[in-house]
Every structure is written in C-alpha cells, then in structure tokens.
A and B are shown apart, each in its own frame.
Chain A
C-alpha cells in the first residue's frame, strides 16, 4: 500500500494544468482532495505517471449564490459548503445532502470536482447533481463546454470525461420559494458511503397538487438515477399518504440493484421504497 513512483506538478493556472494533462495523454491525472485518488494509488489500482495538483489553480474554489442558482467551483470542499451558511436558505437540499458525506477529516479535503469525476455509485453529490438537473462545466483541450449531470455518469467509477478534461464547476438551477424537499440516506455507519440514498423535492401548485417532482437515488445502480416512475406518481396529485405510498411502490419497482458483500439486491430495492416514503413524508410534513 505504498504508491508506485510517479511525478507531481502543481500548475499555477488552468491553461497550464490543461497543457500538462494534454501532454501526458491520459497518463496524468488531476489531484484534487486526494481522498479517493490516493487510496486508489496506494492499492495500486491505477498507475498514472503524473499527478497534476489542482490546489494551485486559481478560481476553482468559489461558491456563488445568485438569481440563476448556485455555482460550486470544482475545488470547493465539503466543509466550504457546510461553512456557507447562506445555502440553508438559498439551496437547502445541498447542505443537507453534503452533511452525510464521510467524516470530519475527509470533509476538510474532499471536493466537488473530485467527487463528480470519481463517480462513486453511492456518492451523494453525483446523486444530487442528477436529481436536480445540475450542469457540469468542463474545460478540455478544445476549450470549455457544458453538459447536464445526467450525461456525465456512464458507469460505476466511470464518466464521459475525455482524458485531460477538467471539471471546473457545477451549477444548480434556481431554487423556488416554498419548495418541499428532503434527503434520506441509509449507511451502515455514520459517514460511510450510502447503501441507498434518496433525494426529493417538489413544488405545489395553487390547488395543492405536486408539480415538478424530482426524486433520485444513489447506491442502486452503477450511477445515480432519477426515480421517474415515482415522480410521475406524484406529479398532479395532492400529497397524502396514498400518493406517497404509490410513489414509494413505483420507486421500488423501477430499480435494478445488484448484490454486494454489504447488502443484497432485494434489500437495496426495499430501501429505495422505504427511503422514498420517508423522504416524501418528511418533505410534506
């Protein structure tokens, strides 16, 4: 569990970072908080010849809150989000989700960009991004581009990023006043990666019927998914026990989880239902 030999650079600008990554053609990897990458290197599961430390790159660390929504720079750390107290009103689901990530020490280092690029199937931020229609800002060899979060994740620990692409930020659309929301997660210990997590929000129309329901789950497939069947069960209905139960059933029915050493597929499927029900009950309370 010692790292294999490799080089290290700490560029001082985005251009320089992109240039180094491009010059190595996939053999160089960006280093953000290192909380996922360094263990991977210690286990010798990846063998880059160069690490490009993003900590010296200016402009990647801001949290911007405005009428257009919230923008998180790629190097924003979990604890920066916790410390940004305005988010509790501006985008309350975000800090609620982030509070489930890992432990104190890891939250001091782990970053938005690192989590998105690492693409763990049970990671919270990718789940939030997919559930909430986030936009991912990327800079590559050919300049900047943007993709919806749903187009970033293509498999477990695997993204549509090309070699040398850098995530520079993530945008969340505007948060509506009066929006109902909740996040429910089940992990085996506090701070562990989720077995299953469900994020949900919806708005109510003047008649008290659900509009624009967004429900997503982590831990049930290779990457985070929207629970569209559950959303359909909610949209247009008043929020009551029967609607919530129908949404939970629909959520269960649409997921295809896998067995692993921690939990069976049947257990994960049942949890999706339980957590959807709990999230909606809490959102509507």
Chain B
C-alpha cells in the first residue's frame, strides 16, 4: 500500500474553520424543500393502510373526487401492467420477491402502506379528501415479532414461501475448531429496539414534469441523488439524461432520508400524468409510518475463550426485523452485524448467521451506523459477560483482545452471499492507543473508586467500550472545478450535504489543493445537474471520497493552469513556478488562476477499500434505583480519524452522534401492539434527546494513523460517534448495579424498564 501523499502548504485542512453554511442557516436563509413553490403546483396526500396485514377488496374515491380542489386520486388501478417496485441498493439473490410495490394493489402489509394518492390544489384540501377515500380491506392475521415470523405462522409473501428474506453468513478461520479448543464458552442473548432516524426535517419532494422536453426534475434530493436518478429513470421509462435530482438544504438525513421511497415514484408519476408540479411534504405522523425504521434486532451468540480472556472464536445467530418489505437498504443491518460484530477486537475464528426477517411493520432501512451499533452493543455485552465469568477485569479483557498495528491490514469476517463488499480489511491503527488515551483522558484511575458505589441514593457505574467505523464506501466519487468569469472558483462534488458541513470541509480541501483562499471557493454538491455521475453521502464517505475526488480535480486543474499559463506567458511549462494560485515565469511575469476564467477540470477517486476509524468511549452513570433514572455524569469519546479536516465539524458529528445514541439507549422506541398498530405517532411519545438532557459529552480526536487508502489519509467520521453508545452505556449501568445483580439485556433501558429489572433482582 502506498503511503498517503502529504498535501503541500496545509493552511485550511485541520483548522477549526467556522461552517460557511451556518451564516445562511442562522439568518433563516436556508432553502429547504418546503421553500420551493411553483405557481401551478398541486399537492399530494397519501391514503395509507390502517391495518397491518390485509387484502384490498376495493377503493372508492368517488366522494374524495367530488371535494373542492381535488384534481385526481391515483390508485393501483391507474397502472397499466405490473406495479413497479422500489429498487434495491445491494445485490442479493433471495430478496427479489420481497420488494415493495410503489402502491398496494392486492395486499397491504403494514400500517402506513400507500394505497392511494390524492392530488389537490392545496395540501390541506388533499388531506381533507384523503380522509374521504374509502378503503375496504379484509384483515388478515398480522405478525409483528421475529420468532413467529421465522416460524412462518403467517406468510407475508405467499409466493416467496417464507418470512426470512435473506440470510448472510460471515466466516473467518475455523469457528468449530476454536470452540472445541476453548477453556470456556460464554453465551448471551440481547436485543435492540425498533427506532427511526428521525431527522428534524421530514421528507419532502417536488416533482416537476416538462412535457415539451419529457424531462423530470425531482427537487428535494438527499443522500444519493445519482442512484435515485438511475432508478427513477428506469421506473419512468426515461433515459437517465431526462431525469434530474436537485439537492436543496437538508435538515438531517442519518441514513433514512434520501433513500428511494414509494412516494418518490408516485409523485413523479402524478406529475407526468397531470402535467403540473406535484409537491408533498411528509408530516410528522406520516414520518413515523412511512420513513424507514431501523435497529430492531436480536442475537443469540457465543464466545469461545481461553482462560486468560483471549477470544478464540465467536459464533451464533443475529436477527434483524426488517419490516414488511425489503427496502433499498433493508438488509444492510443484518449483513453489517455479521461482518462488524467483532469490531476492533481480534476474533480470529467466526461463524455468524444474520437473518433478515419480514414482519407486518414499517419496512426498515439504515440508520447511522447500521448493524454496527447493534453489533458493537452485542460484542461489548459479551465481553462483560466473559470477563465476569472468567473473573477478569472488564478493561483488561478488552485490552488483551484489541487489534494492534502489527495486525494491520486486518481481515474481518467474509460475507456470503457476496454483495461486492464481502471482504474487507481494517486499514491502519493501533486500537489500544485510543483505549489507553480514553483511560487517561477520562480520569479513570480516580473515577474507578466510584465503581458500583451508592452515593446519595445513586449507584455509580463506569465503563469503556471500543468501536470501529467503516468509512469511504466505494466505488467512486467525482468532482469538477471551474474557474468562473469573476475569478472565483466553483467546486462541484458528488457528495451530498445532509447537514454535516460538506461545503466547509470540501472548501478547505479544495483551498489547500489549489493554494488559494478559502473565501474564493464555492462548493456546490449533490444535484445531478452538476456532474454526469456521482455517488453521494452515506457509509461515512462524503468527505473521504468527495474530498479525494476534489484533490484529483484540483491537481488536474493546476496542470491545466500550467499549460494555459505557459501559453499566456510564452514560456515552457516546466519553467513555471506555481504557488498560491499564481504561475510565475523566470522573467518575473506571472498570471493568476483567477484570470483563467473557463478553465475547468474533472476529477475522480476510485476506491473500494474501506477506511476504519477506531476509538473508545467512556461512560460514567449514576442510577437512581427508586426511579430507574440514569444520569449520564460524563461521556467521553476518543477516536482516531486518520486525518482531521475540521475539528469543529468533526466534533459536531461525534457529539451529535453520541447524544443521538443516548436517545437510543434510554428513550426512543417505536412500540407496536400485537395487531401491528404502531402506538407512537408524535414526538411527545418518541422521546428524542433534548438539548438539556445530556450536557456532558466530551470528545478527543486523534490523527495518529492516517488511512493508506486515500490521498487525504482521512477516515469516515459521521457514524463512529453513535456506534459505541449502546454498548458502553449499558456496560456502565450493569457495572453500577453489579451489587444488585442487575444485567439488562435489552435496549432501551428506560427508567420504568430498569426499575422493573431492579425489582426483579430484589425479589430473586
């Protein structure tokens, strides 16, 4: 592997540059999808199934069509031929039959499934009329739990013959041999609850059809506009060039926003049919029903250990409740748990099976650190169990199994069936370094005296967990740099912005690569109109992949600048000295890059080798046994991201993700009843953390181990903050309550749930 090439005078990368986006956001000048209005626009409202599983007998839109302002009611009957299904992001041999049709025709499989679309002149009137569409649905028994679903008690897809949509096997070494040789085998079963990513801005789109040019424009793109364009073009039977996705400001993505949803197609379909722009802004209640859920998983796994705590192997089954259909990214969590459960630890022999199981719930997708958060939670709990069984210190067992730089590159479990990323290698780092730093930085030696103690009515507990964060999803990203007429430089990138500061960090990278002031650069991103092909922002790739493509474009532009300057100054290219945006000839004449209006260069970065940020997190909690309330007294994350582009945006990602993870640990849960009704419909019941809830989050970022896999040496940083939270916080809680014999095995540990466990332990 080649070493990362150091970039010449580094003035912006690494600096805490304030986000350029913030000026517009803080002044209320952001342009979000709901700010886009067209004079002739109409609005859509979706009629959704109120039953979890049923057969559609009839849909009567007569009354709705007669209401004021109503332009159309679209149902499955409006499609000639088969109903299109929404695309898959990853190839997989078994998921075909589980794809989601864009609109229900014969069967509904979850509460919230779109059955009809009402188009009216205003959103209010569309909603009024949607209430008047009469659905006659014959209810079928619904299945909400994974165990009855696996037993095929009720089939969601009769033709598929079973409710397990996909099975991934992850293998490394020889697990059977490892277990045969083990001194001790420890077994554990744990669960994580159903959640959703809950971006503060709900989804929304405006579909605009130009009948003259047969061109579709979708405003409100996020995450992966180019993939969605390709999918939409195929579904609409259009050449790709006749579809554009326009990215606006986006109020958070976290994996859920920007995937291809049934509504996306239905809006485009309606726009073409009606010949006018169709707009839809998802409301919050609808968001709970319609936007991808995540994280509902379980495990039943074993660790094979030597008596000194060295892990010899791991095996078992991981379960992922993917809801009613396989959505574009529906099986990713199952495959990621299988590949990433071992995380930063040396587990040389692995045999995991990961099952994606369909049930009558909203289809699931990815949420920040998909499968990785769950896997890390399971692994950390297994390490605690193992340490306790072997009579080892909980930190010591971690220390003994962390990967070191001598292990690099380190092969993780290989996935089958392969999806193009079946093999992956940890790229660089000594994973003990962040762990030891976390011990020091958190003041562990002093705090450890509090471990398990009851002080003023609260039990104190401390834990440290470790994680890796895969980043830089391949295969490629593109960029282009143009010198404008006014001498300013425009940088176009395939990376999309979902609130993470893309304009700032790509601007810093471009400014350094071009050696020009940051203020002279405008970063434009995401929209398909900027580049002929691009990928986007997911899998902790936006900065690493987009930034590397920007560097390539910048180097190309400098080369072109050299050529153009040589002609302008009438000297040989090699005689020119280029620095700080100026090409100087030996005779003292010079020309600026800013004078090169029209100069333009494309760049790209091709790479499918992931980067692995690694780190450790420390949690110090205090548990009130009478209320079950857990106060997070201190939380510290230490990570090594290879190369820090901007410590402010980086810490924003890490801190925000940690807080988001604390919501996962304590309060967020999508509760269903046995009939498949979702019982959570507003943010009064889905308890995301508030600004005042977790005031003490600290982070320390290091750059001691650059990635060898890209010119920046950078690694992903968008997801790492959330990955360890479930594991380390639950470990701290079990440590606090060790004297009571309380060991929670499921998330969330809401106060009532923890209180109940404390009661049970007291009675036992």
Q: Which residues of A contact B (CB under 8 A)?
A: 1-5, 39, 43-44, 103, 186, 188-193, 195, 261-264, 266-267, 270-271, 274
B284, B693, B759: the one contacting A190 at CB < 8 Å is B693
Which residues of chain B are within 8 angstroms of A263 by Cβ–Cβ distance? 751-752
9-residue interface stretch from B120-128, B262-270, B436-444: B120-128
For the complex of A and B, the 5 pairs showing the least CB-CB separation, nearest first, are A1-B283, A263-B752, A267-B752, A2-B124, A274-B626
Among B734-764, those with CB < 8 Å from A are 750-752, 755-756, 759
Q: How far is the CA of A193 from the CA of B127 in the complex (A)?
A: 29
Smallest CB separation, A142 vs chain B (Å):
37
Interface status of B237 (Cβ within 8 A of chain A)? no
Question: Across the interface, do B627 and A43 meet the contact criterion of CB distance under 8 Å?
Answer: no
Q: Does B685 contact A (CB under 8 A)?
A: yes
Contacts A5-B128, A274-B626 given; does A189 touch B285 at CB 8 Å: no
B679 located at the interface, meaning its Cβ lies under 8 Å from any Cβ of chain A in the complex? yes
B671 within 8 A of A: yes
Known contacts: A2-B123, A188-B750. The answer to whether A261 contacts B693 by CB under 8 A is no
* Residues of chain B contacted by A266 (CB below 8 angstroms): 756, 759
Closest to B282 in A: A1
Cβ contact of A267, chosen from B671, B690, B755, cutoff 8 A: B755
- Candidate in B128, B283, B750, B752 with the most chain A CB atoms within 10 angstroms: B752
**Which residues on the B side are within 8 Å of A274 (C-beta)?**
626-627
Q: How far apart are the CA atoms of A263 and B671 in the complex, in Å?
A: 12
Known contacts A5-B124, A267-B756, A270-B755, A186 near B629 by CB under 8 Å: yes
Contacts A186-B629, A189-B693; A264 near B756 (Cβ below 8 A): yes
Whose C-beta in chain B lies nearest to the C-beta of A273?
B626
Beyond the given A5-B124, A190-B693, could you list 15 further A-B residue pairs with CB under 8 A, ordered by the A residue number? A1-B283, A1-B285, A2-B283, A43-B681, A44-B131, A103-B690, A189-B667, A189-B689, A192-B684, A193-B684, A261-B671, A261-B680, A264-B752, A264-B756, A267-B755
User: B128 and A4: CB pair below 8 A?
Assistant: yes
In whole angstroms, how far apart are the Cα atoms of A58 and B10 in the complex?
66
Shortest beta-carbon distance from B208 to chain A in Å: 22
A1 proximity list for chain B (CB < 8 A): 127, 283-286
**A103 contacts which chain B residues (CB < 8 A)?**
690
Tell me the bound Cα distance from A100 to B128 in angstroms: 37
Question: Does B5 sit within 8 A of A, measured CB to CB?
Answer: no
Shortest Cβ gap from B64 to chain A (Å): 14
B667 to chain A, nearest CB (A): 6
Partner of B627, one of A3, A44, A186, A192: A186
Residues on the A chain within 8 Å of B131, using CB? 44
Does any Cβ of A come within 8 Å of B488's Cβ? no
Instruction: Pull 25 A–B residue pairs with CB atoms less than 8 Å apart, ordered by A.
Output: A1-B127, A1-B283, A5-B124, A5-B128, A43-B285, A43-B681, A44-B131, A188-B750, A189-B687, A189-B690, A189-B693, A190-B693, A193-B684, A195-B751, A261-B679, A261-B685, A262-B750, A262-B752, A264-B752, A264-B756, A267-B628, A267-B755, A267-B756, A270-B759, A271-B627
Q: Complex formed: what's the CA distance from A188 to B598 in Å?
A: 58
Q: Is the CB of A192 within 8 A of B755?
A: no
Chain A residues, CB < 8 A from B687: 188-189, 192
Whether B8 sits at the interface, judged by CB under 8 Å, is no
B300 CB, min distance to chain A CBs, angstroms: 27
C-alpha gap A266/B128 in the complex (Å): 42
- Verify B692–A190 contact, CB threshold 8 A: yes
Query: How far apart are the CA atoms of A186 and B627 in the complex, in Å?
Result: 8
Residues of B within 8 A of A190 (CB): 690, 692-693
Chain B residues with CB under 8 Å of A186's CB are 627, 629, 751
How many residues belonging to B are interface residues under a CB distance threshold of 8 Å? 32
List A contacts of B685 (CB < 8 A): 261-262
What residue in chain A is nearest B692 (Cβ atoms)? A190
Q: How far is the CB of B536 from chain A (nearest CB, A)?
A: 29
Q: A191 contacts B627, CB within 8 Å?
A: no
B93-124 to A contact mask, C-beta < 8 Å, 1/0: 00000000000000000000000000000011
Main SS at interface, chain A: loop
With CB as the reference atom, state the residue of chain A lying closest to B666.
A188
Q: What's the least CB distance linking B637 to chain A, in Å? A: 22
Select from chain B the residue with minimum beta-carbon distance to A42.
B283
Interface residues of B in 117-150 (CB under 8 A from A): 123-124, 127-128, 131
What is the chain A residue whose CB lies nearest that of B751?
A: A188
Contacts of A192 in B (CB 8 A): 684, 687
Closest to B755 in A: A267
**Residues on the A chain within 8 Å of B627, using CB:** 186, 271, 274
B 652-686 to A, binary, CB cutoff 8 A, 1 in contact else 0: 00000000000000010001000000011110110
Bound complex: CA of A39 vs CA of B682, how far in Å?
Answer: 10
Report which residue of A2, A186, A270 has the largest number of chain B beta carbons within 10 angstroms of its beta carbon.
Answer: A2
Return chain B residues, CB-CB under 8 Å to A3.
124
The smallest C-beta distance from A102 to any residue of chain B, in angstroms, reads 11
User: Considering the chains assembled together, what is the distance between the CA atoms of A4 and B687 in angstroms?
Assistant: 27
User: Measured between C-beta atoms, what is the minimum distance from A257 to chain B in Å?
Assistant: 12
- Bound form: Cα–Cα A263–B667 in Å: 12
Chain B residues contacting A264 (CB-CB under 8 Å) are: 752, 756
Docked Cα-Cα span, A189 to B667, in Å, equals 9
With a cutoff of 8 Å between Cβ atoms, the chain A residues found around residue B689 in the complex are: 189
Residues of A within 8 A of B679 (CB): 261
Cβ of B464 to closest chain A Cβ, rounded Å: 27
Residues of A within 8 A of B127 (CB): 1-2
In the bound assembly, the distance between CA atoms of A39 and B123 in angstroms comes to 17
Q: How far is the CB of B205 from chain A (nearest CB, A)?
A: 17
Residues of A within 8 A of B692 (CB): 190
Q: Nearest B residue to A268 by beta-carbon distance?
A: B752
Q: How distant is the Cα of A266 from the Cα of B762 in the complex, in angstroms?
A: 15
Distance of B759 from chain A, by nearest CB (Å): 8
CB proximity of A245 to chain B, nearest CB, Å: 13
Residue of B nearest to A193 (CB): B684
What CA separation (Å) do A2 and B687 show in the bound complex? 23
Q: How far is the CA of A185 from the CA of B756 in the complex (A)?
A: 19
Name the residue on A nearest B202 (C-beta): A1
Taken together as a complex, chains A and B put the C-alpha atoms of A186 and B759 apart, in Å, by: 18
CA distance A103 to B691 in the complex (A): 11
CA distance A58 to B251 in the complex (A): 41
Assembly CA distance A186 to B752 (angstroms): 11
Query: What residue of chain A has the Cβ atom nearest to residue B673's Cβ?
Result: A261
Interface flags for B613-649 (1: CB within 8 Å of A; 0: not) read 0000000000000111100000000000000000000
Enumerate chain A residues within 8 angstroms of B752, measured Cβ to Cβ.
195, 262-264, 267
Instruction: Quote the shortest CB–CB distance from A110 to chain B (angstroms).
Output: 14
Q: Report chain A residues within 8 Å CB of B759.
A: 266, 270
Give the distance to chain A from B518, nearest Cβ to Cβ, in Å.
36
Residues of A with C-beta under 8 A to B693: 189-190
Q: Which residues of A contact B128 (CB under 8 A)?
A: 4-5
Please report the C-alpha to C-alpha distance between residue A1 and residue B281 in the assembled complex, in whole angstroms.
11
> What's the Cα separation between A193 and B284 when bound, in Å?
20
Interface-centre pick from A3, A190, A262, A264 (highest chain B CB count, 10 A): A262
> A132 to nearest B CB, angstroms?
25
Q: Which residues of B contact A270 (CB under 8 A)?
A: 626, 755, 759
Please report the C-alpha to C-alpha distance between residue A74 and residue B723 in the assembled complex, in whole angstroms.
49
CB distance from A191 to the nearest CB of B (A): 7
Q: How far is the CA of A266 from the CA of B750 in the complex (A)?
A: 15
B180: min CB distance to chain A, Å: 45
Nearest-neighbor residue (CB-CB) of B681 within chain A: A43
CB neighbours of B124 from chain A (8 A): 2-5
- Complex Cα distance A208/B317, Å? 65
What separation, in Å, do the CA atoms of A126 and B755 have in the docked complex?
A: 28
In the docked arrangement, what's the CA distance between A186 and B684, Å?
16
Q: Which residues of B contact A193 (CB under 8 A)?
A: 684
Which chain A residue has the least Cβ–Cβ distance from B690? Answer: A189
User: B389 → chain A, closest Cβ, in Å?
Assistant: 31
Q: How far is the CA of A209 from the CA of B592 in the complex (A)?
A: 90
Q: Which residues of A contact B284 (CB under 8 A)?
A: 1
Chain B residues closer than 8 Å to A271, beta-carbon distance: 627
Q: Which of A3, A192, A263, A266 has the most CB of B within 10 A?
A: A263
A274's closest neighbor in chain B, by CB? B626
